[in-house]
Amino acid sequence: MTLLTRRTFLSSLAGACATAVIPSYGLATAKRPGSRLDRLVPLIDPVVDLHNPHTGDTLTTRFHGPTGYDPDAVALINYLMRDWREASIVQMDVRLFWALAVIRQAAMKDGHSGLIHLNSGYRTKKTNDHLRSLGYHTAPSSMHIKAQANDIVVEGAKVADIAKFVEWLQVGGTGHYRGSFVHMDSGPIRQWSE
């Protein structure tokens, strides 16, 4: 496992992702007024505890403080959520970060560690097409391509319970992939299961 820290981050960037272009998706889409997630935002500790099983990266960081978003923390999360196949990093929709922080706290309340395994974050179109060609369920215009989706597993928690919780949170879209993972995105509110 590679523990991502501010110190190791720049050297990681210089290595695997030296040629990555980082387009700016902005930090503006976090809000969906009236949603349960938005109502919880002022009440929670904005910390994520993440593990990417494909790269081995782990990261625990507080991404927001009294002066707003912490750019170093945000960059580390974007890095952990990168398209590792294409070494491509983009600004993820920060709504996902808030959702992950709420899920972490809820999991800890239930006696779990709060660690969240990120199976998939950002995907280039190339990677998305590749995965579809292998038979994975990926929509041609997947929210992963728009940097607005995460596929997650919460350490110790049942996938079905997390799917229900994400749906309740009103993050956006919730996909329950039975027994394997939960897809959540910051697009329109909708649900499905497979």
> Judged by CB under 5 A, does residue 83 bind Zn ion?
no
Q: How far is the CB of 120 from Zn ion (least distance, A)?
A: 6
Residue nearest to Zn ion (CB): 183
Token pair belonging to 76: 């580390």
* Contacting residues for 78 by C-beta, under 8 A, at least 6 apart: 22, 89, 90, 91, 92, 122
Q: 170 in the Ramachandran plot: left (φ > 0), alpha (ψ -120 to 50) or beta?
A: left
Nearer to Zn ion, 51 or 183 (CB): 183
- Partner residues linked to 152 by β-bridges: 118, 182
> Judged by CB under 5 A, does residue 57 bind Zn ion?
no
Number of residues that bind Zn ion (CB under 5 A): 3
Nearer to Zn ion, 46 or 173 (CB): 173
Options 9-17, 28-36, 104-112, 179-187: segment touching Zn ion (CB under 5 A): 179-187
* Contacting residues for 188 by C-beta, under 8 A, at least 6 apart: 172, 173
Task: State the DSSP string of 92-134.
Answer: --HHHHHHHHHHHHHHHHTTS---EEEEE----HHHHHHHHHT
Q: How far is the CB of 144 from Zn ion (least distance, A)?
A: 6
Nearer to Zn ion, 64 or 183 (CB): 183
Token pair belonging to 117: 């395994």
Nearer to Zn ion, 89 or 166 (CB): 166
Nearer to Zn ion, 93 or 151 (CB): 151
Select from 123, 166, 183, 186 the one that contacts Zn ion (CB under 5 A): 183
Site map for Zn ion, 135-174, x if CB under 5 A?
Answer: --------------x-x-----------------------
Q: What share of the chain is helix, strand, coil (3-state, %, to 5)?
A: 35, 25, 45
Determine how β-strand 173-177 pairs with β-strand 190-193.
parallel
* Residues near Zn ion (CB under 5 A): 149, 151, 183
